[in-house]
Amino acid sequence: MALKTYTGSCHCGAVRFAADIDLAAGSNRCNCSICTKARAWFMLVPMNRFRLLAGADAQTEYHWLPPGRNAANLHFYFCKTCGIRVPGRGEHGPAGGPFYFVPVASLDDVDPEELAGKIRYMDGRHDRYDRPPADTRLL
């Protein structure tokens, strides 16, 4: 694992963060309804590898309760000023505990060559996050 600290922000700079990420491990794209509409491309980051540097009060939250569930697992955050999606928080990640999901587009200092690696596709539309959907062309 080759962790590197990346910084990121929203468009206006009100929300700023740092995260220790191994980009070589791959990024994620999902086909659930919110990820499809937002064309989400994200990295999963353990809680202890994420730091909010500024803008806790500059964010607004959206959480969606999927049909058939009694509690939201994902909390999406956006800058109140510019509307850009910033890192969100999940309750039950791949390792079983809480995590952050960092939008790749919000990273300020990433080399595009670093992003050209492995992408994991998730079939979130059918609650099968362990496998890709049948069609990944538009993700």
Domain ranges of the chain: 4-126
Q: Which of 101, 84, 71, 7 is nearest to 38 (CA)?
A: 84
Tell me the C-alpha distance between 119 and 50, whole Å. 21
125: phi then psi, degrees, rounded to nearest 5: -60, -30
* Per-residue pLDDT band at 65 (split at 50, 70, 90): confident
Span 4-126: which CATH code?
A: 2.170.150.70
Q: Alpha carbon of 19 to those of 8, 28, 70, 75, 91: distances in Å?
A: 8, 16, 30, 18, 18
Rg (CA), the chain: 14
pLDDT tens per residue, range 68-90: 878 778 899 999 999 999 999 99
Query: Which pLDDT score, from 0 to 100, does residue 116 have?
Result: 80
More confident residue, 24 or 94: 24
Stronger pLDDT, 59 or 97, i.e. the higher one: 59
Categorise residue 68: left if φ over 0, alpha if ψ from -120 to 50, beta otherwise: left
Tell whether the model's pLDDT for residue 63 goes beyond 90.
no
- pLDDT number for residue 64: 78
